[in-house]
Amino acid sequence: MSSRFSGSLDLEFLSDWQCSTGRGRHAGVDSTVVRDSDGLPVVPAKTLLGLWRDACERIAYGRDGGSTVGPWNILVHQLFGRPGGMGEESDPADASGCLTVRPARLPQAWRAELLRADDGEAELLKDGLVVTRFGVAIDDVTGVAADDTLRLVERARAGLVLSAEFQADLRPGVSSADACSLLQAGTLVWHHIGSSRRRGAGRVHIDFKSDCGGAVAVETGLRGTRTSDLNGRDVIADPLPGGAAMTRRMTLDVETLLPLICPAGVQGNVISGLDYLPGTTLLPLVASGLGTAAASLIRHGHLSIGNATVLLEGGYEEAAARAPLSIVSKNKGTGWRTDSAAVIDVGAGGSGDPGAKAIRGWTCVRGSIVSVAELSLVTTAHASIDDVSQRPLDDGLFTVEAIPAGTKLRSEIWATDAVDEKQWHDLAAHLNSLVSPALGRYRRGDYGLVRLTATVQAVAQADIPVQLDANGRFAVWLTSDAYLVDSFGVASPTANSLRDELAERLDCPELEVASSFVSVIRRDSWTNKKHLPRDSATCLRAGSVVVFRLNHGVTIDPTRWGDVCRRGIGGLCVEGFGRMRLLSYPITQGRPGALATVAPQKLGDATVNADTKWRELRLAIWRDALLNAAAVVATEASAQDNLISPGVKKNKSQLGNLREAARLLASDHKAVQRWCTAAKGDKGWDKETVARIRELAGPPQPSELVRVLGGGLVAPVSNDIVEEVGVDLLASVLLSEITVQVQRRGAKA
C-alpha cells in the first residue's frame, strides 16, 4: 500500500517569460518558445520539476539546520529522485522519485477561444500570446554592446495563466503531511521560471492546491509497481501448472495524451525510440491488477501480454503489424504508393524486379489487399542544467524520439483458465480505473501520460485451421520479435530454429522450410531491481516470413496452432515476444492506410479568476495590434496626404512641435488644439489641413479610427475594442507616426 495525493500548480506570469526550444526560425527569430500540439505556449514538466526541486532543497536546507543529509533532504530525494540516478549507498527506490508533474498549459476556456476555426480574432489573439524582444551581449572590457551579437528572441506574454497537475505516490512510512508541507513551502520561495529569470523575465505567482489534507491510502497503481517488485510479494502457496490453453482474451487500448518514449537504444546523447509499446512495458501494469497471484501466473506462462501497436482506420479489429518482408514493391519498396498493383508476394511464388525491396510500415491485410501506414516519431531535445550556475552544461543537448500524442494503440492480452472469470474482469476494471497512468521513459514529466481502455472479449474461435496451398505450403508471419534459442540455450534467430520450435509445439516433425524472408534485431531492456541492463535478446525481427511445406496428407492440428498464435513461440512470450499470424492469401495490391488517432488531452485548467484574466489578456493583445496597425497605416503615402496636404509648406520646427504635441495627447487633451490655434495664423498651413488635425485629436469617434486602422489588421475590430484600448492613445500614436513619416519624406525630397 502507498499513500497518494495530487493537486495542481496555478501559474500567473507577472512578466514576459520564455521556456526556449533551443531552436530559431530562419529569417525570423533566434530563439522560439516551447509550444504544445495546438501551438500555444507551455511550461515543460521538466522545467517545473527542476525549479520545484531547487526551491524544496532550499527549504530542506533550512529545516535541517544547514545540513544536507537531514530528514528533510532525504524527503526531497524521495519526492524528486537523486541527482544523477543512484549513488553507491542510495536506496534504489529513490533513484527516480515519486512525484509526477505534467506540463503547465493554458486554461481550457482560453484554449477554446484561441482555437476557434476560421476566426480572424482567434488567430490575432493566438499570435499575440508571444512577443519578440531584442537582446545583445555586453563586452566585458568596453561595457558596450559587442559586435554581431544582436539577437531577436520570442517570449510568452505577461499575464498568461497556466495550470499544471501533479501527483505523488509515496512509499510506505513516508508522511503525506510532511511531503505536502515541503512541496507547498517550495512554491512560496519560487518566484521565476524560464530563461533570463535572473534578469527580470519569468516572474510568476504560484498557487499550490492539493488534496493531501485528506490523503487516502489506495492500492498501488502503475508507478508504485515495478516488475522487480514481484519478487518481494507473497505468492500463492501452490505453483500453478503450465501448459494450459489460452482461453481468456482482453484488448487494451492505449491512447497517448503526451508523447510516449519507448527506448530502442541509447547512443551518446540520443535516445532512439520504438514506434510501438512493448509488452514488457505493459507487464507491471497487468501485474498490479492481479495482485499476489501475478508472480506465479507470469512464472508459469499463464499470461501473454502483446505489444501495443497502432490501429488503422477502416474497421480493422486487430492492431496493425509490421509489414511482411515477403511483400515487395519496385522503387525500393515505395512503388505501391503510385501503383497499387505494384506489389509482389514473393512468398507465394512471385518474382520481383532487381529494384524491388520489402515495403515498410504498419500493415493490415484483408484478402489480397494490404493497407500500409507509417508512424512518424516526434523528436525533442533538452539540456542538462548546472545546479550552481543555473546554465546549460557543456555536454550538449539530449535528444529523444517519442510516439506522438494522439496516437491510438492496441494490445491483446491472453490468459489461461488459471485466471478465473472474476479475476479477469477485476483486472479489466483495475486497468480502467487507474488515475493518470503513465508509461515509458521520463514519464514523471512531459512524456508518457496515457488513457487506458481494457475490454474483455469473447474468444470467437478456439481452433484456427491452417489452409495449405496446392503445393502443401503455408506462410507464417511474425507480428512481434521472436526470441529463439538452440539446444545449448544460445540465441538462434534463424528460420530453422523457428521450424524446430514449431515442429515441437505442433507435434509435426514433418514440417520443412520451403523459403524464408527474415531479418534479425537485438532487443535491449532494463531491470528496475538492479538498475542495470538486462541481457540483450537477439531475435527474429517482427515482419519476418517463413514459408513451410508439408508432405501430402499431413495436416496441422488447429487447436495447437491456435494456442501457438495466442501464446507466442520461443522465449519471453509473457512480454509479447513470438506472436504470429498466417498469410493465407497471395498479396497483390497495396494501398495507403490511415492511422487511427485521438485528440490529445487538454491538460490543466487554472482555478484563478480566469474570466477577468482573459479579458485583461485579450485587451492587451488588441492594444498591441492596434498600435502596430497605426504605425503601419502611417507609412502609407495616402494616409499622410489625407491628413497633411502635399501642398503645405512643412516647416521642420512646426512638424516637430506637432509630433511632440501628439505624443502628449493621451495625457493632455488640449496639446494638439493649442498647436492648431497657433498654426492658424501661419500662411504655410491651409485651413483644411489644420481642421483635419484638430478633428483627429478631437478625440475622434471610434468608428473613424476603425475605418482608418482596419487595413492594418488581420481581423475586424469593433468600436468597443477601440474604446477600451483608448481613442486618445490611438489618435496620439497615429498622428505622431504620420508626422514622423511626413518629416522623413520632406528630408528625402
524's grid cell = 535491449
Q: Does residue 180 or residue 551 have the better pLDDT?
A: 180
Q: From 3, 47, 52, select the one nearest 183 (Cα to Cα).
A: 52
pLDDT in tens, 131-179: 888 888 888 888 788 888 888 888 998 889 999 999 888 888 888 888 8
Is residue 363 pLDDT above 50, yes or no?
yes
Is residue 650 pLDDT above 80, yes or no?
no
Peptide bond into 83 cis (omega under 30): no
Q: Which of 34-43, 195-204, 369-378, 461-470 is least confident? A: 461-470
> What span, in angstroms and rounded, lies between the C-alpha atoms of 439 and 222?
8
Q: What number is the average pLDDT over the span 665-669?
A: 76
In contact, 537 and 526? CB cutoff 8 Å = no
pLDDT, mean over the chain: 79
Residue 526 sits at the vertex; the CA angle it makes with 523 and 529, to the nearest 5 degrees, is 155
pLDDT in tens, 605-616: 444 455 778 888
366's grid cell = 484483408
Q: Does residue 69 or residue 647 have the better pLDDT?
A: 69
pLDDT in tens, 190-246: 988 988 877 778 889 999 998 875 333 322 232 232 323 323 333 332 333 445 678
pLDDT in tens, 473-493: 888 889 888 888 877 777 888
Q: What number is the average pLDDT over the span 706-716?
A: 72
Q: What is the pLDDT of residue 243?
A: 52
| Sole residue written with cell 507547498 | 184
pLDDT in tens, 19-40: 888 788 877 788 888 888 888 9
Above pLDDT 70, what percent of the chain? 84
Q: What number is the average pLDDT over the span 536-544?
A: 86
In contact, 541 and 264? CB cutoff 8 Å = no
Q: What is the pLDDT of residue 162?
A: 92
Instruction: Find all residues with CB under 8 Å of 41, minimum gap 6, and list them.
Output: 19, 33, 34, 35, 106, 129, 130, 156, 160, 162
Q: What number is the average pLDDT over the span 265-277?
A: 84
Question: Does an H or E element contain 214, and which?
Answer: none
pLDDT in tens, 304-353: 888 999 888 877 778 888 888 888 887 777 777 777 667 777 776 666 66
> What span, in angstroms and rounded, lies between the C-alpha atoms of 448 and 685?
70
pLDDT in tens, 88-130: 455 555 567 888 899 999 988 888 888 886 777 888 888 888 8
